Amino acid sequence: MSERPWSSTAPPGEFRPYISAEESIKEFTLRAVILGALFGLLFGAVTVYVGLRAGLTVSASIPISVLSISILRAFGRSTILENNIVQTTGSAGESLAAGVMFTIPALIFLGFGSEFTFWRIFPLALLGGWLGVLFMVPLRRQLIVKEHGNLAFPKAPPAPMFSSQVNAAARLQAACSGGSVSAAFTPFS
């Protein structure tokens, strides 16, 4: 194993994961899934309310990651992978709510308004979530594994969407290694 410090921007040949493949630490736990689902519901409701009221939404990745670290630490030791499950689950729920929130009013304006009930919206949202996962699974290796080092993360994110995820990951890494959560915030520099 290399003695060089860990870096997320190391060239592909020199990159080593933050958690090695040989380590076996808690990741997919019941408390992580439940907490992530609760955050997804909470931030999803906030997203829909603010989105319909103000016409815009904000990403919940950073608030969910900070709350995840705080709450899981209060209930005992947690790992970066467990916090990642909470943050990813919560953000996915919030993003799905935003997708429904922006789609339903458009369909109402097109004249489909009287046909929308819970039993029609829920399966459509579920189908949208499944399609997102099914399209991402085959693209994961190409977009995440093979493209490592080709994007200018985290120094120059290609889109504002990525900055919240980069900062959430930096906060998780700092908090789980004993550092300060607020010091992990790295704006575009």
pLDDT digits (tens, 9 = 90+) for 64-122: 999 999 999 999 889 999 999 999 999 988 888 888 888 888 888 888 877 788 888 88
Residue 142's pLDDT is what?
80
pLDDT at 86: 95
Q: How many CB atoms lie within 10 A of CB 126?
A: 11
Shortest CA distance to 85 belongs to which of 46, 127, 35, 133? 35
Written as six digits, the tokens of 101 are 């929130």
Residue 68's alpha-carbon distances to 15, 23, 72, 91, in angstroms, are 27, 22, 6, 12
At 56, the pLDDT band (50, 70, 90 cuts) reads confident
**pLDDT recorded at residue 173:** 66
Report the 3 state secondary structure along the chain.
CCCCCCCCCCCCCCCCCCCCCCCCCCCCCHHHHHHHHHHHHHHHHHHHHHHHHHCCCCCCHHHHHHHHHHHHHHCCCCCHHHHHHHHHHHHHHHHHHHHHHHHHHHHHHHHHHHHCCHHHHHHHHHHHHHHHHHHHHHHHHHHHHHCCCCCCCCCCCCCHHHHHHHHHHHHHHHHHCCCCCHHHCCCCC
Over residues 51-74, mean pLDDT:
90
Residue 103 has a pLDDT of 85
Q: Is the peptide bond before 154 cis (omega within 30 degrees of 0)?
A: yes
pLDDT in tens, 110-146: 888 777 888 888 888 889 889 988 988 888 778 777 7
Region 141-162: what's the mean pLDDT? 59
- pLDDT at 162 exceeding the cut of 70: no
Of 25 and 15, the structure prediction assigns the larger pLDDT to 25
Per-residue confidence (pLDDT) for residue 189, from 0 to 100 = 37
Residue 50, pLDDT > 70, answer yes
pTM of the full structure: 0.70
Provide the mean pLDDT of the chain: 79
